Amino acid sequence: MTADPAWAGRAILHCDLDAFYASVEQRDHPEYRGKPVIVGGLAHERGVVSAASYEARAFGVRSAMPLRMAGGLCPQGIFVPGDPERYAEASDAVMALFLERTPLVQPISLDEAFLDVTATAHLFGGPVAVARELKRLCRERLGLVLSVGVASNKLCAKVGSDLRKPDGLVVVPPGTEAAFLAPLPLGRLWGVGPKTRAVLEGWGLRTIGDLAAFDRASLTARFGEHGTAIAERARGIDEGTVEPWGAAQSMGHEHTFDRDTLDSAEIERMLLRLSEGVGKRLRAASVRARTIALKLRVAPFDTRTRQRTLVQATNDDLTIYRTARSLLREALRDDRDRGSVSPVRLVGVQASGLVEGEQLGLFDAARASRLNAALDAVRRRFGDDALDRASARATERRRFSDGRRR
């Protein structure tokens, strides 16, 4: 099979599963198909929507929306607490499918990944053929719908995969990156959040093309290195590489909120989900992590990381979560002390310093094993929010108590 002769140079795919959690629910429950499915909890509960099927989105339901608001918008919706075990299993199956086409797979979260197929695409007919085949296999083997962007860099591949959801395929041929981005609104560009966009629009800029044509020196003077970076991206330039997460190095998950948030309960709720995913992957690989890291991306495009090395390596969900939560609270407290609290756009948890075959003491090992088995059983029977809601309620109680003390 010959490769696509029109493609030369790097070939990057961004693969994104559409409405992932809700799609898994619809796949596993045929009676849900074609109906509005809302994952995160029951309509009357506190908490936020984790995912909404496209049928639910038609009613205005969106991720990170309060469940009670979603219930008001879509009272006929099917509200489910979620099942992180099944979602992680589905994610593992999808990532394994990607690895059949290239070893260079960089998971970004449970439902999306970058693939560098530069060196392998010729074996499968070229990068566009690889994208079409992955979409077909995801649907036929796994019952899930995949949107894919194909480009010469990560930026354009990611923008492309977002453009025609669900079930989209957008190809940005080499040499057309700037022209592809030019007509799109500023908010589509990495690093242009609400505050940056407001400044740019105040200068009369509306599209990425407008930004690309704007004086670079003025951008750098106003935004510093960030201004230089967005000027490069607006021209379709992105030298970022696909960095696979090797089992011997680190494992992690990230989540990007639909809207920037200052709600610590919402962020901690997502931290729990991410920690559960990381813990499951560690246990599946029979490794433990010595270091837990928290990643935060805040407006306009500032990425911050904090990490902590543990006394005892772990693959326990709750240990990972409590460590990440402690790091989050320290970061938010430091921001408040400086008087510069910024909304959070992305949160991530990463486990590194992985070790194989390390054993706990006999008593501790048995206790940890029983605890994880019990937690998994609770999640299977009662759903993700069985633990998630308890965490959220504790946060709400702390807020109430803090308010009364003040």
DSSP symbol at 16: E
The verdict on whether 201 is a catalytic residue reads: no
Q: How far apart are CA 53 and CA 61, in angstroms?
A: 9
Q: How far apart are CA 46 and CA 397, in angstroms?
A: 12
Q: How far apart are CA 317 and CA 343, in angstroms?
A: 26
Q: What are the backbone angles phi and psi of residue 240, rounded to the nearest 5°?
A: -60, 140
Residue with tokens 């400086």: 338
Residue with tokens 């219930």: 71
If 0-12 CB within 10 Å is exposed, 13-18 middle and 19+ buried, where does residue 372 land?
Answer: middle
Polymer length in residues for the chain:
406
- Integer CA distances (angstroms), 332 to 239, 264, 342, 374, 396, in order: 32, 9, 9, 32, 16
Query: Residue 176 contacts by C-beta under 8 Å, 6 or more apart in sequence?
Result: none
Select which of 25, 45, 55, 112 is catalytic: 112
Residue with tokens 């837990």: 292
Q: Catalytic amino acids? A: 112
